[in-house]
């Protein structure tokens, strides 16, 4: 696992200074504290910060070259089928000088060129310079576990694992991308291919980029298909799922450093721990996070799983004063990122790193096996579409009159469910998952900012929800619920959940591996009949069948909770005072994005309990701190919340 960065400049006499690559990789030291490597030649520079996990020797150092030095590679991630590939490549005459998975990519590229990415089973982002063709290859894994950003101006291409590495090149402007900010305010994250920085882009998951002679070509190499549906018996499918997940876990246990697991007590992470125990008789360390508020605290479930499988278990309680970590989170996340569960994920990663270097997680199970409650709600809402639209609109107005409850109250859930009943399935889904709806933006945006956004337009439609419609249209799924799952796999999973885990873990030099993101498991799940995933109100039906003999019944059949954070209560305390000082302060108001009266109303209504604006307030607070860190100070971390 590493942080990678580099620059390629085209043209006669082009030179990339080693000092620039050193600065870029120094900004990524947290991603790889064990080793540092830089290679430059003419207009090409590659750099790496290494977290040693497989083959801890210097033989695995990066940048890594082939025998004649025509190819140089920097690589971030893990290739889980590297041993099989190595055997095949050795059979073709290739000779290896290390035991690392990195070297497998070098030799596989020699055989198959850019199409080698189709053979890789793992999580990865890499950059490969081929001196023979004078081309740079950038590639990213299928599901988007590992990040890769780039900037291209026609002559130069600069890339890195995080934008803060790119910002070391002062040719790149530290300016906000206002279209990206608009999307961020809708979703709470910046969706690919945008980044929060003007002219900086993300390489999307399942894509590779070839840069040659100043031209850039991006190719998609993998797509998820939901057809044809599997027709085997339930018993046969259960057995196959058990095999695929077991193999995915076993492959992710290969390391030359200590390995543990992040254990929430939910089905997915518990299943991972159960399969870890099946694969090894050795000690397993597990780590959990809890809260003082009972409705958010899942530690009792995690403890029960830890007891069943005899793990060495550690816990940590996250309290409101943890919000003081916000400046560090903003710095490490590089872009405005409003998923408040980044805070406990950060604390969990910090705790886990004290005992292990690699941790397995349950990320990805909900999207593949239809575990989110919103999937069942979507199917129910689809049935209600038979009711005449005027009656559904009446239900929407009636739900709007309900008194606001806590973030997880039944009243709040009902209000959110009813809010989308009068629209089509994908727009309804957009309303459910949005942080800031279009009607809120109309009050929130200043006239000037709204006018700029209207003039800029978007290739995807009139609003950010057009992104969901595009993903919906791309899917070959027949059922509406699977199309919604596809939009989550294309957007929410790589741009929110996996960013959250990658950044929080790598900030502490911890590698996280997710067996549910094995693309064989994901492809298997996609082709299951819907009833094998969502049966009645029961999500993850087949997964529960596969785990029925392994996990406690309380874990198998408990209600989906999610990794929530009680920021609704926190914003009625000291965090609310902090947000008021920051969001109504001079720096924020002079940016000209938001109407001060609307921001004040959000703060007042939430403080009095008149409305639930905690997610929106968190997104605005994070956005302002991001501006202060990366736009005003070009990546210099704030030492404290500005009060």
HEC sequence for 342-353: HHHHHHHHHHHH
Distances (CA, A) of 284 to 50, 52, 177, 316, 361: 25, 20, 44, 18, 13
Instruction: Name the DSSP letter for residue 76.
Output: E
From the list 270, 263, 159, the residue with the least C-alpha distance to 209 is 159
Map tokens 């886990």 to a residue. 352
Instruction: Name the DSSP letter for residue 170.
Output: T
Helix, strand or coil, per DSSP, at residue 259: strand
Alpha carbons 221 and 216: distance in angstroms, whole number = 16
Active-site option among 2, 116, 347, 401 = 2
From the list 520, 512, 420, the residue with the least C-alpha distance to 465 is 420
* Sign of the dihedral defined by the CA atoms of residues 211, 212, 215, 221, in that order: negative
Beta bridge partners of 157: 8, 152
Is 2 one of the catalytic residues?
Answer: yes
From the list 206, 220, 191, 141, the residue with the least C-alpha distance to 514 is 141
Cα-to-chain-centroid distance, residue 473 = 22
Alpha carbons 626 and 619: distance in angstroms, whole number = 10
For 249, residues 6+ apart whose C-beta sits below 8 A from its C-beta are 272, 275, 276, 279, 360, 515
Alpha carbons 586 and 572: distance in angstroms, whole number = 23
Alpha carbons 2 and 52: distance in angstroms, whole number = 8
Phi first, then psi: give them for residue 197, nearest 5 degrees: -100, 135
Strands 149-152 and 200-202: antiparallel
With b for 16 or more beta-carbon neighbours within 10 A and e for fewer, the 125-163 pattern comes to bbbbbbeeeebbbbbbbbbbbbbbbbbbeeebbbbbbbb
Exposed/middle/buried for residue 390 (C-beta within 10 Å: 0-12, 13-18, 19+): exposed
Alpha carbons 271 and 502: distance in angstroms, whole number = 21
Count CB-CB contacts under 10 A for residue 561: 16
Q: Can you list the pairs that 572-579 forms with residues at least 24 positions away whose Cβ atoms lie under 8 Å? A: 572/606, 572/607, 572/609, 573/320, 574/320, 574/323, 575/320, 575/323, 576/603, 576/606, 576/607, 576/617, 578/323, 578/621, 578/641, 578/643, 579/603, 579/617, 579/620, 579/621
Strands 358-360 and 259-262: parallel
Cα-to-chain-centroid distance, residue 263 = 18
Enzyme catalytic residues: 2
């Amino acid at each position: 696992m590493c942080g990678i960065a580099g620059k390629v400049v085209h043209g006669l006499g082009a030179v990339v200074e080693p000092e620039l690559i050193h600065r870029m990789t120094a900004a990524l030291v947290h991603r790889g504290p064990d080793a540092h490597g830089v290679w430059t030649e003419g207009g090409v520079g590659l750099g790496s910060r290494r977290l040693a996990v497989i083959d801890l020797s210097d033989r695995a150092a990066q940048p890594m070259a082939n025998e004649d030095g025509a190819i140089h590679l920097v690589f971030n991630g893990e290739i889980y089928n590297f041993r099989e590939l190595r055997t095949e490549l050795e059979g073709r005459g290739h000779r290896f000088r290390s035991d690392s998975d990195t070297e497998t990519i070098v030799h596989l590229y020699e055989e198959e060129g850019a199409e080698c990415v189709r053979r890789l089973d793992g999580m990865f982002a890499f950059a490969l310079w081929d001196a023979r063709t004078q081309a740079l290859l950038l590639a990213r894994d299928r599901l988007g576990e590992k990040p890769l950003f780039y900037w291209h101006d026609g002559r130069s291409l600069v890339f890195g694992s995080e934008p803060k590495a790119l910002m070391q090149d002062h040719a790149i402007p530290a300016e906000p991308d206002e279209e990206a900010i608009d999307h961020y305010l809708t979703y709470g994250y910046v969706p690919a291919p945008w980044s929060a920085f003007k002219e900086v882009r993300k390489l999307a998951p399942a894509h590779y980029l070839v840069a040659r002679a100043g031209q850039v070509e991006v190719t998609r190499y993998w797509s998820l298909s939901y057809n044809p549906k599997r027709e085997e018996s339930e018993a046969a499918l259960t057995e196959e799922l058990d095999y695929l997940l077991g193999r995915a876990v076993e492959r992710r246990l290969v390391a030359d450093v200590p390995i543990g697991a992040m254990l929430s007590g939910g089905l997915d992470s518990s299943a991972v721990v159960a399969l870890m125990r099946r694969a090894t008789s050795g000690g397993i360390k597990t780590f959990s996070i809890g809260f003082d508020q009972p409705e958010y605290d899942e530690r009792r479930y995690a403890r029960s799983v830890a007891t069943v499988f005899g793990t060495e278990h550690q816990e940590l309680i996250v309290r409101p004063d943890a919000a003081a970590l916000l400046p560090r989170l903003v710095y490490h996340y590089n872009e405005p990122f409003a998923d408040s569960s980044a805070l406990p994920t950060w604390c969990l990663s910090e705790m886990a790193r004290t005992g292990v270097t690699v941790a397995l997680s349950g990320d990805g199970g909900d999207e593949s096996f239809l575990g989110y409650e919103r999937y069942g709600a979507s199917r129910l809402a689809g049935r209600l579409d038979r009711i005449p639209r005027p009656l559904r609109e009446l239900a929407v107005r009636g739900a709007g009159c309900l008194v606001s409850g806590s973030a997880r109250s039944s009243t709040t859930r009902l209000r959110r469910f009813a809010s989308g009943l009068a629209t089509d399935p994908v727009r309804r889904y957009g309303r459910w998952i949005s942080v800031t709806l279009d009607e809120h933006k109309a009050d929130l945006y200043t006239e000037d900012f709204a006018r700029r956004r209207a003039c800029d337009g978007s290739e995807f439609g009139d609003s950010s929800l057009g992104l969901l419609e595009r993903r919906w249209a791309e899917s070959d799924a027949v059922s509406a619920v699977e199309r919604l799952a596809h939009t989550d796999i294309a957007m929410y999973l790589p741009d929110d959940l996996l960013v959250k885990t990658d950044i929080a873990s790598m900030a502490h030099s911890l590698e996280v591996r997710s067996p549910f993101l094995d693309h064989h498991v994901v492809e298997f799940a996609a082709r299951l009949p819907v009833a094998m995933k969502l049966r009645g109100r029961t999500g993850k039906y087949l997964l529960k069948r596969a785990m029925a003999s392994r996990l406690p019944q309380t874990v198998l059949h408990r209600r989906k909770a999610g990794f929530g954070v009680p920021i609704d209560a926190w914003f009625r305390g000291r965090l609310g005072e902090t947000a008021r000082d920051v969001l109504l302060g001079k720096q924020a108001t002079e940016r000209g994005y938001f109407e001060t009266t609307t921001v004040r109303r959000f703060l007042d209504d939430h403080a009095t309990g008149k409305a639930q604006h905690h997610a929106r307030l968190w997104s605005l607070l994070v956005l302002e701190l991001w501006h202060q860190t990366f736009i005003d100070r070009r990546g210099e971390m704030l030492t404290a919340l500005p009060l």
